Amino acid sequence: MLDVTEEMDSPTFKSDTVLSDVHLHCPNKRHLMVRLNAVGQPVFLSYFKLLWNTEDSSSEKRVREATTERELQYQSGDELCDKDRNNLKKERELLNNEGVEALLDEDGDLEVVRRPQSASDLEAEDLLRDRVYPVILMKGKEDAFEDEEECTSSDVVKIEHTMATPLEDVGKQVWRAAFLLADYILFKRDTFRCCSVLELGGGTGITSIIMGTVAKRVYCTDVGEDLLAMCEQNVTLNKHLMEPGRGEVKVKELDWLKDEFCTDPEAPYSWSEEEIADLHDHCTVIIAADVFYDDDLTDALFRTLYRITHNLRNSCTVYLALEKRLNFTLRHMDVTCEAYSHFRNTLNDLESLQDRKIKYVVEPIKLDFCQFLVYERMEQLE
């Protein structure tokens, strides 16, 4: 929703809802609404199918050939009763008739099923007119799709996420840069094998889960009990992916606006002293995806990054993935990307920092590696 107000001849634009890239990229796919979260937001379960070449995972050529032979599919699971299954069958029959519009338009808005222009009045009487409601599963119910073979295969990632949230809850959605970073992890999995990894702003946990298929241990961190509970649920849903490599993903709270780890044993997702010591002693990789959209949070993240890297025993590589989001601003009267500009300036400050203990070197990564997930690779992705 976009609200435009005018005060003192100066228009102000306010956005109270943000749509995820998953929703924008695949508006016509069927999603399963599994529950409402603690703040009443619909939570959806989506399936993301990976290309996983088990015969020769180290061969870039074979992966590229397989990519051209098979289209990677974005899937959502659904468990239907007989009535719902019959309704869905009728819907599909309708969609095959000339003149019937899709259930969702290009922007993802609900479209009412209309009578086909070629249908006679007699045929029209049999057309589906029932209202369609999402199938809702109760929170805490066991995996409703375990009978489906594809759901427990090694090439399907199941993620609970929202599709539209207020700005402060965007971590509950899935974004393109998370896919980009996941692609890079899969492409360079030998680089991350058996590593100890920290993710900052893990959100739904999809990137940490992919990392958990190759790394020894991943600390997936964010802030907010509801978000962390969703992330932990996603880790549980995908344990079968991490079991072959004995990888482990631990969901923890890490607030960039605080100088210390949360160690209160009464607080959910707090750190133990042993876990903090393990992070400092063994972490060699830090990752973050699509967390640079607010200048204050960007500053806080870099302060946290500086503090943590200073306490690590070993040298560390930090992988940052983001999408430059272009907006028209009245201040510049032009299309700009102020959040990205602030990120670049802060990154340059970190690289030029005079510190006798540690030196930061920034290197861009070319985006010519394989794509294992379905999303739109845009020029704005880095």
**Calpha distance 301→381 (Å, rounded):** 19
More confident residue, 133 or 265: 265
Q: Which residues of 46-55 are buried (b: 16+ CB within 10 A; e: fewer)?
A: bbbbbbbbee
Binned at pLDDT 50, 70 and 90, residue 306 comes out as very high
Quick check: 221 pLDDT over 50? yes
Percent of the chain with pLDDT over 70: 65
Q: Write out pLDDT tens, residues 99-112.
A: 434 455 555 555 54
Spatial CB neighbours of 21, under 8 Å, sequence gap ≥ 6: 173, 174, 175, 176, 323, 375, 376
Sign of CA dihedral 89, 95, 99, 105: positive
pLDDT of residue 335: 52
Q: Which residues pair with 287 in a beta bridge?
A: 199, 319
HEC string of 102-163? CCECCCCCECCCCCCCCCCHHHHCCCCCCCCCCCCCCCCCCCCCCCCHHHHCCCEEEEEECC
Q: Which residues of 325-360 are buried (b: 16+ CB within 10 A; e: fewer)?
A: eeeeeeeeeeeebebbebbeebbeebeeeeeeeeee
Quick check: 299 pLDDT over 80? yes
52-66, 79-93, 181-195, range with greatest mean pLDDT:
181-195
Q: Write out pLDDT tens, residues 320-346.
A: 999 988 665 555 555 568 889 999 999
310 by DSSP, 3-state: which? helix
> Under CATH, what is the fold of the domain 18-52+153-352?
Rossmann fold (3.40.50)
Binned at pLDDT 50, 70 and 90, residue 162 comes out as very high
pLDDT of residue 34: 81
Binned at pLDDT 50, 70 and 90, residue 124 comes out as very low
